[in-house]
Structure 1
Amino acid sequence: MPTPAKGPRLGGGAAHERLMLANLSAALFEHKRITTTLTKAKRLSPYAERLVTFAKRGDLSSRRRVLGLISDKGIVHELFTDIAKAVENRDGGYTRITKIGNRKGDNAPMAVIELVLEPVSAKQAVVKEATTAAATAAPAEEAAAPVGADVEESAVEEAPVEEASEVPAEEAPAEEAPADEGK
């Protein structure tokens, strides 16, 4: 697990901090979203992401490591089946922290920490698909394009067509200009 920060801990001692993080992560995996103080959320994020990484591995030793930290077998089962399947294509960033203002009683900064279970963005999937398509198409194009004369002829044929289309476009405004001057 991530090494606890030096200095003041979240509740008195290192053992209490470990237990608090284990309980917070169990609540996070059970409810998918919890509200806590900003400091606790920042400490919980790497801890929970590490547990999700173990769940993505899915082997017996990973399950036993997580069971050593979270004692509820139902939550561990949900982590290894539901949550791990939902984030299998994601390479990290399994949690999101959103600040929600200060608590009314003691003015402590509060935050919502939630699991990011949405699939990876469509843009990233399209970019990945395009790069793989380009990589597979590049060798095929190299084999099919040794004839360079066809490319030069098509470029020569396109140039006069463009010049011919520009000439009438220039004449049309010239005809309209005298009509405007007459008014």
Structure 2
Amino acid sequence: MLLLCSNGLTCENLLDCVRQEIHFHSGEPRAALIVTGDPIYKEKNYHVPRCVQELESLGFGVDLFDLDKQPAQTLFSYDCVELIGGNPYTLLEALRKSQARPVLQTLARDKLLIGWSAGAMVLGPTIALIDQFAPEMNLPDLTDLTGIHLTNVQILPHYQRFLSRYEQLENRCQHYEQTFHCTVLRLNDGEGIMIDSQNDNFVKIF
């Protein structure tokens, strides 16, 4: 299953959703928390302790994982993989360089893949939406904004917070939808969507 969130597993509904998807086996289930989304602080990102605590509360043993230093294929040994937020441009570049797409595709199909904020946006078809609001984040100067494309769903995380941060956010988002003939799912913090990656159908929306 694929779970896209605004700011992580920050409500009981999302935690319950993950509990239902955990397939326990002999031994402690393991989760990898991918910290590559923050190109500066990585494992010292201030969200990391919270994310580790959330995963541990679900019964996972947690390892911090950096795709800039560790091969993506190692992720096959985990029962759950979570991508934290940060910079979607640098994260997308790291996913491409590490050839992580087939690994993440398999994890979304057979196990549980969680992405939130930038970690959710890169798993969709494109990150062109964020380019409408924060092109200054494009530090690697990407010209191809095609995402990992594990789903056709495009999300806009932190919607209520972004309304006060970006001028005319809703109007610009609607213009984007009309221009690119797509639908953007606006998620507030504490919200997420579970997707069956095999048929790209919504399972639950929180």
More helix by percentage: 1
Query: RCO higher in 1 or 2 (8 Å CA, sep ≥ 6)?
Result: 2
Note whether the superposition's TM-score is higher than 0.5: no
TM-score by length of 1: 0.24
TM-score between the two structures when normalised by the length of structure 2: 0.22
Structure of higher CA gyration radius: 1
